[in-house]
């Protein structure tokens, strides 16, 4: 899963526009039913009620179907938006045809639909809505069902038309303001999403440069470490070393540390896509968590403690990059809380959730506000803050999220939530 899928904090503009059309349609349904009831029951104007009420009922069915079928839709095409607008034009045309045609002052509602089409659609497509509204208005001038006015209103039909025009004017004014405000909110959300994507692209470029530097350094370190390994093995058989057990023990420790350095170099090369790295190992989430927790428990002298809450295990691939960023989190926690760091592991809603709790002083408020950006650090040294920056970007690339908070008592908690599906997908690619 690409990190851009998580980077977009808002749905696509077309999805928000479709939701806005559905919302306006609900308002139209309520307004139409109230108007039909007022005109027929209070004013006594004869209307073909079954045919008129059928239109709001059809719009209700369409709205429900749009909500159900489009619940997981991320975007809509211009053709689908045009279809939704043309449906509204057709519904208004049918209702005006049954209620006096262009003698009905609510004919001006076509202007609202033309404005919506001009704002939502590209210029070439918005003319289609305008042309459809013009054709509908022209036909309604010649073909419509006349209103059956009561004797009291037949004496002064112009007064009725002016009253209806005033109501239509107020309705168009309210709906226009509502629509423009909603469109402006959509635009601001799109601008925020675009700014977020640009920031992530800049961070991705920063990570690429760091990866190139790390890969180059790993290549340069590989050869001298291999030479040192050969020399250490030769010293084991040297006549001057054999009679000195203390020196042999120190050389064993040196060999162990060299092997650890070679493993780190292989992990860097593997994360950079180099063939020298060992293949990722198939494992399970529980085993993956227990392995790195046991490693850090030994390295920290027992300070790192695991609280395993995983009840239903899942098959994953052990990802060196993920192990590295987890190591960054634990290492940072140990710097401020060398006596105790708790790792809480759980699987919830298809996510591997790892929470790292320390007993340090916590994060400053200004650091939490900018956490995850490069060179944001509480350590006050030049070049600091890259550890959590890498953590945020690697987890985000997996489709997960990182949250950082201070605890109520003392210390901080860093929570990594990583989709198990993404970890399996990376294993298939590997």
Distance CA(28)–CA(89), nearest Å, equals 12
Distance CA(147)–CA(189), nearest Å, equals 46
Domain end position, chosen among 182, 200, 218: 200
Whether 276 maps to a domain, the answer reads: no
- Residues 58-89 pLDDT 10s: 888 888 888 888 777 777 887 888 888 888 88
The CATH number of the domain where 397 resides is what? Answer: 3.30.565.10
Distance CA(113)–CA(176), nearest Å, equals 10
pTM for the structure as a whole: 0.48
- Residues 200-223 pLDDT 10s: 776 666 665 666 566 556 656 766
CA atoms within 13 A on the CB side of 408: 0
Cβ-proximal residues to 87 (8 Å cutoff; 6+ apart), any chain:
62
Shared-domain flag, residues 245 and 351: no
Distance CA(32)–CA(56), nearest Å, equals 7
Shared-domain flag, residues 293 and 425: yes
Shared-domain flag, residues 92 and 150: yes
Q: Identify the domain containing residue 325 by its residue range.
A: 281-429
Contact status, residue 277 vs residue 271, Cβ threshold 8 Å: yes
Token couple for 116 = 């919506």
Whether 357 maps to a domain, the answer reads: yes
Shared-domain flag, residues 188 and 213: no
- Other C-beta atoms closer than 10 Å to the C-beta of 199 total 12
Number of domain units in the chain: 3
Whether 137 maps to a domain, the answer reads: yes
What percent of the chain clears pLDDT 90, i.e. is strictly above it? 4
Shared-domain flag, residues 184 and 222: no
Whether 105 maps to a domain, the answer reads: yes
Domain end position, chosen among 220, 243, 271: 271
Shared-domain flag, residues 309 and 350: yes
Distance CA(106)–CA(95), nearest Å, equals 10
Shared-domain flag, residues 118 and 229: no
Whether 329 maps to a domain, the answer reads: yes
Shared-domain flag, residues 186 and 162: yes
- DSSP code of residue 46: B
Contact status, residue 386 vs residue 401, Cβ threshold 8 Å: no
- Residues 217-273 pLDDT 10s: 665 676 677 777 777 777 777 777 777 888 878 888 888 887 777 777 666 655 554
Looking up tokens 């990866």 gives: 211
Rg of the chain over all Cα atoms, to the nearest angstrom: 34
Q: Which helix (H) or strand (E) holds 351?
A: strand 351-358
Shared-domain flag, residues 296 and 265: no
Q: How many residues does the chain have?
A: 430
Shared-domain flag, residues 189 and 227: no
């Amino acid at each position: 899963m690409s990190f851009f899928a998580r980077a977009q904090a808002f749905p696509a503009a077309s999805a928000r526009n479709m939701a806005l059309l559905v919302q306006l349609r609900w308002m139209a349904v309520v307004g139409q039913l109230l108007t039909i009831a007022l005109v027929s029951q209070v004013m006594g104007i004869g209307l073909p009620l079954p045919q008129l009420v059928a239109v709001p009922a059809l719009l209700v069915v369409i709205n429900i179907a749009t909500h159900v079928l489009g619940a997981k839709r991320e975007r809509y095409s211009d053709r689908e938006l045009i279809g939704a607008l043309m449906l509204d034009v057709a519904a208004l045309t049918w209702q005006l045809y049954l209620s006096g045609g262009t003698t009905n002052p609510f004919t001006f509602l076509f202007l609202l639909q033309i404005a919506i089409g001009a704002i939502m659609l590209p210029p070439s497509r918005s003319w289609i809505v305008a042309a459809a509204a013009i054709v509908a208005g022209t036909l309604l001038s010649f073909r419509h069902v006349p209103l059956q006015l009561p004797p009291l209103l037949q004496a002064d039909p112009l007064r009725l038309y002016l009253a209806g025009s005033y109501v239509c004017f107020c309705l168009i004014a309210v709906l226009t303001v509502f629509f423009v405000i909603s469109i402006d909110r959509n635009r601001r959300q799109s601008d925020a999403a675009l700014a977020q994507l640009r920031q992530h692209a800049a961070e991705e470029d920063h990570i690429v440069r760091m990866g190139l530097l790390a890969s180059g350094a790993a290549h340069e370190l590989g050869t001298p470490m291999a030479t040192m390994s050969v020399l250490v093995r030769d010293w084991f058989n040297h006549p001057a070393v054999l009679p000195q057990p203390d020196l042999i023990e120190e050389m064993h420790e040196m060999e162990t540390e060299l092997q650890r350095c070679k493993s780190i170099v292989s992990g860097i090369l593997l994360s950079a896509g180099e063939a020298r790295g060992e293949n990722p190992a198939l494992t399970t989430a529980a085993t993956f968590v227990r392995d790195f927790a046991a490693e850090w428990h030994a390295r920290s002298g027992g300070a790192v403690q695991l609280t395993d809450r995983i009840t239903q295990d899942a098959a994953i691939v052990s990802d060196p990059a993920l192990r590295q960023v987890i190591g960054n989190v634990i290492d940072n926690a140990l710097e401020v809380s060398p006596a105790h760091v708790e790792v809480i592991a759980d699987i919830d809603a298809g996510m591997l959730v790892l929470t790292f709790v320390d007993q340090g002083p916590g994060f400053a408020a200004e650091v939490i506000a900018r956490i995850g950006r490069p060179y944001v650090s509480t350590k006050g040294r030049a070049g600091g803050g890259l550890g959590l920056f890498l953590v945020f970007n690697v987890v985000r690339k997996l489709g997960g999220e990182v949250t950082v908070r201070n605890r109520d008592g003392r210390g901080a908690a860093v929570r990594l939530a990583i989709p198990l599906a993404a970890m399996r997908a990376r294993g298939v690619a590997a």
